Structure 1
Amino acid sequence: MPHNLQALAEKALAAAKAAGAGAADVLAVAGDSLSIEVRQGALEHAERAEGVDLGLRVLIGKRQACISISDIRDDAIETAAARAVAMARLAPEDAYCGLADPDQLSALRAADGLELEEPGDAPNPADLQALACQAEAAALAVKGVAQVQSAGADWSRHNIWLAASNGFSGGYARSSHSLAAVAISGTGTAMERDWAAESRIFKGDMPSAEDIGQRAGARAVARSGPRKPPTGAYPVLYDERVASGLIGHLLSAINGAAIARGASWLRDALGEAVLPEGMDLVENPRRARSAASRPFDAEGLPTHARSWVEDGRLQGYVLDLATARKLGMDATGNAARGTGGPPAPSTTNLALTQGSLSREDLLREMGTGLLITSLIGSSINATTGDYSRGASGFWVENGEIAGPVNECTVAGNLRPMLASLIAGNDAQMHKSHQIPSLLVEGLTIAGA
């Protein structure tokens, strides 16, 4: 049954005001999802979920509290509002919390033109099961695949409404289709696993189930018989599948929350070189048909395109209202939130300047070194940028893949690592983070 999220949000705001809140905002989310998993050609697991959540934030002076409920009856909303106000009265003061001023609010209150939702009803579960079975069969057809650990198809739709006592009220919907397969090669202690997955807003944009399954199988077989790489200093190529994680460390370092705490290795780096000359890192929150797009942020501020890094130099920090106030800067329209807590800075769609070299060209460029296709664990010193991660992938000799490797660690410092990047040309343009394969010089590899 559809819900009027705008009416629910307004009801929660009225309840907060009646309970004594000086200001309030509410995020209302209605979700509908369907998930199917198969095994050996038969249904393994099916799940359908529907629900509505309200996240209410109330403010009394410079004190705030958040509460989340899924019971949307009138008396439940009133009780939650009263509890939130009681919590706020006991909360410590936060000099930087507060809603946006009315003149800061976005004039755009919907996602018209962004194509974030595919019209129509939920797919038939039998159709999702058929797709999952096709992906599983394609993976099993790859020579050397022993079994398929899982194959699944998912669909979801979420309607979102944000309203606040400063006059903001707006909402939009987003939907998603996804398909994934995990294949295993070998047996016993020689088993190796890899995967392939795709997700799109529109079903017609999805690659075929056979393609996804075949990729999962081929990747698992390619990992058969790994060894440890040699220990030493070598160039490292981050495959496109994992390269966005490397840029993610840069984004974490320019997040306003980290900057405000002084816990960032880029806390005093505005205007300084953080990427190679000629390389830009651009955010576009209003990119059409992208899962991370949004017309306004979680505080009702307008979103717009900006360069976080331009010609290699850092241009700004990712800020919500609270961190902007603490740093004496302007908010950047990057607030995000769930129903369970207050806003926090976060980015949306990102694109890193691509180079002219393919992944194969980058392998020839590196000569001898490590191609990383999977990362596990993380030891990142947020203050110094010291970096250490477990990795697996392929050893490269004379520009050619020599064989799979695992059980190794790569280490370095993020500042010189990012400054030495050589970008490939293989970024996937349908992804919210369009990051190509990235070659890094001189990391320390701990292997055999």
Structure 2
Amino acid sequence: MGQVEAAVKEALSLAKQKGASDAECSISQTSGISVGTRLGEVETVEFNQDGALGITVYRGNQKGSASTTDLSKHAIEAAVEKACDIARFTSPDPYNGLAPAELMATEIADLDLCHPGDQSAEYAIEQALACEKHALNLDDRIVNSDGAHYGSHTGFRVYGNTHDFIGGFLQSRHNLGCALIAREGDKMQRDMSYTVARKTSDLWTPEKVAEDAASETLSRLGARQVPTAKVPVIFRADIAGSLFGHLVSAISGGNLYRKSSFLLDHLGKQVLPEWLTIQERPHIVGGLASSPFDAEGLKTQDRTIVDKGTLETYLLTSYAARKMDMQPTGHAGGIHNWRVSQQDNSLQQLCQQMGTGLLVTEVMGQGVNLVNGDYSRGAAGFWVENGEIQYPVEEVTIAGNLKDMLANIVAIGNDTDDRHALHTGSVLLEQMSVAGH
């Protein structure tokens, strides 16, 4: 990392020498292996080594950016020269510039994010083959495989700017997944499962991934449509994050200053039920979305995003913050370990609370309008009556308005899915339109 930090400092120094008033530079590099198998055969083995330097220079309010994958001194100098040339010809934008110096991270905490695993082809192939083989032997109705995959990657990111900030950290990510096809009569269904972690020891075993993938796939056999109705809906934990993902987009600076958000001017207002709180914890040791600083060098910090239903903060880069005459929040590059509050209810108890309605386990399509909150997507899942799952459902459309959906969350289960940056259990919504046959 020392050599990389030196390269970043060199790029920043060259930018100043060439007339830039300010500059920022980042270098990222990732290396690892990805393996894909299908029906016991190895389909792909890819060794990856990707790296790049990105330099952005400012000449007052004029901005120019360039990048290079060649980290030699000559290539870095050429990239800086190109960025400076571009800045000379861009129109001034009064909101351009580095994030405020006083908000830079002053201490780079070691969050224990890097745990290299065995990246040999032999080990990766062994994991994928073991997963798929186990899955195909679990049930005669599993007739085909869409493949298993294993990936293991380690890398680093170093960022610096002319506020005399420079920081970096190492990180790793490993994953194993499997997709299966099951048949009953002349009908077939497909589903999958996966695991992801910073440490290979925290991954599910190949057998657990296989068994979960098989259970998901087999449970979809015999799927049918349901009559069109307005009923309560549960978003199961593994897709409930997508619901709150729309909240993330709606309170992000880019959509706010463009006035393309259904939560425009909602800071300090109620957007979720009073019992619901969302907290952000960027410094969880080993967390999948932990980071000591954001993509602009701003220190990340614990925040309450929504407090008892009330929106406490927007998510602002320095550019968006200047546009909105506010302070940046350290979210350049995304969110950091959101924790959605929950009640002590299992998914089965949520179904009992719902009574009759739809348990959604998959959504598809892009029918979300962030400007007005209109929501309409294809869905699959299970029909629930008297609190019990009756049969699988497919080819339905669920529709509502995100503002109402978020405000009318009835309950959140304790079955938290921690494979994402946003941790939530299953979410019970008061009512949505379900369109079937």
Give the alignment's TM-score, normalised by structure 1: 0.94
C-alpha displacement of 1:197: 0.4
**TM-aligned CA deviation for residue 19 of structure 1:** 3.0
Whole-angstrom distance in 2 between the partners of 1:104 and 1:231? 52
Q: Per-residue displacement from partner, 1:402-433 (whole Å, max 9, x unpaired)?
A: 11111111110111111111111111346432
1:440 aligns with 2:429: yes
Amino acid at match of 1:442: Q
C-alpha RMSD over aligned residues: 1.6
Map of 1:167-186 to 2, 5 A cutoff? Answer: 167-186=164-183
User: Secondary structure in 2 aligned to 1:364?
Assistant: helix
In the alignment, which of 137, 154, 166 is matched to residue 157 of structure 1? 154
Aligned counterpart in structure 2 of residue 428 of structure 1, from 411, 417, 420: 417
2-structure distance, mates of 1:53, 1:161 = 11
Distance in 2 between the 1:391 and 1:189 partners? 22
- For residues 286-435 of structure 1, the aligned pairs below 5 Å read 286-336=283-333, 346-421=334-409, 422-429=411-418, 431-435=420-424
* Partner residue in 1 for 2:125: 129
Question: Which residues in structure 2 correspond to 1:1-400 (within 5 Å)?
Answer: 4-109=3-108, 111-112=109-110, 114-118=111-115, 120=116, 122-143=118-139, 144-186=141-183, 190-336=187-333, 346-400=334-388
| Contact map agreement 1:264 1:383 (CA 8 A) in 2 | yes
Q: Contact (CA 8 Å) 2:39, 2:147: kept in 1 or not?
A: no
| Structure 1 position 49, deviation (Å) | 1.0
Cα distance, 1:369 vs structure 2: 1.2
Residues of 1 paired with 2:144 and 2:156: CA distance? 38
More divergent stretch after superposition (235-244 vs 143-152):
143-152
- C-alpha spacing 1:44/1:405, structure 2 compared with 1 (3 Å): same
Question: Structure 1 CA distance, aligned partners of 2:252 and 2:385?
Answer: 38
Distance (Å, rounded) in 2 between the aligned partners of 1:236 and 1:51? 43
Deviation at 1:334, TM superposition (A): 1.4
Report how far residue 277 of structure 1 moved. Answer: 1.0
Read off the aligned partner of 1:13 and give its amino acid letter. L
Instruction: Tell me how far 1:188 sits from its aligned partner.
Output: 9.5
Aligned equivalents of 2:419 and 2:190: distance in 1?
A: 25
User: The residue matched to 1:380 in structure 2 has which SS?
Assistant: coil
After superposition, give the CA deviation of every residue in 1:83-113 in whole Å (9 maximum; x if it has no partner). 111111111222111113432211113x41x
| Aligned equivalents of 1:187, 1:40: Cα separation in 2 | 20
Please say if residues 238 and 439 of structure 1, whose CA atoms lie closer than 8 Å, have aligned partners that are also in contact.
yes
Distance in 2 (alpha carbons) for counterparts of 1:68 and 1:224: 49
Distance 1:187 1:225 in 2: 7
Aligned residue number for residue 340 of structure 1:
none
Counterpart residue type for residue 52 of structure 1: G
Distance apart, 1:147 and its partner CA: 1.2
In structure 2, how many angstroms separate the alpha carbons of the residues matched to 1:316 and 1:285? Answer: 15
Please give the alpha-carbon distance, in whole angstroms, between the structure 2 residues aligned to 1:19 and 1:167.
18
- Any idea what SS the aligned residue of 2:283 has? coil
Measure, in 2, the Cα distance between the counterparts of 1:243 and 1:249. 11
Asked whether the 8 Å contact 2:294–2:300 carries over to 1, the reply is yes
Superposed CA deviations along residues 357-376 of structure 1, whole A, max 9, x for unmatched, are 11001111112211111111
Letter in 1 for 2:276: M
Q: Identity of aligned pairs, percent?
A: 35
- Structure 2: distance between partners of 1:301 and 1:359: 38
Please say which of residues 314-323 and 137-146 is displaced more in the overlay. Answer: 137-146
**3-state SS of the aligned residue for 2:367?**
strand
Matches of 1:189 and 1:261, distance apart in 2: 50
Asked if 2 retains the 8 angstrom alpha-carbon contact of 1:5 and 1:29, the reply is: no
* CA displacement 1:344-387 (0-9 Å, x = unmatched): xx312101001121100111111221111111112222121111
**Do the aligned residues in 1 keep the contact of 2:195 with 2:419 (CA within 8 Å)?**
no
Residues 303-312 or 72-81, more deviating = 72-81
Q: 2:117–2:199: 8 Å Cα contact kept in structure 1? A: no
Q: What code does the residue aligned with 2:127 have?
A: L
Report if the CA contact (8 A) 1:15-1:77 is conserved. no
Equivalent position SS for 1:335: coil
Of the structure 1 ranges 246-255 and 424-433, higher mean CA displacement relative to structure 2 is found in: 424-433
Distance 2:57 2:188 in 1: 53
- Aligned pair count reads 435
Give the match's secondary structure for 1:51: strand
Residue 51 of structure 1 and its aligned partner are, at CA, apart by: 3.0
Structure 1: which amino acid aligns with 2:207? E
Cα distance in 2 for partners of 1:22, 1:430 equals: 42
Q: Which amino acid aligns with 1:107?
A: T
Given the two structures, how large is their TM-score scaled by the length of structure 2?
0.96
CA distance in 1, matches of 2:122, 2:246: 41
Q: Is the 8 A contact 1:3 1:30 kept in 2?
A: no
* Cα distance, 1:121 vs structure 2: 6.2
Once residues 13 and 228 of structure 2 are traced to their aligned partners in structure 1, the CA distance between those partners, rounded to angstroms, is 64
Deviation, structure 1 residue 251: 1.0
1:170 offset after TM fit, Å? 0.7
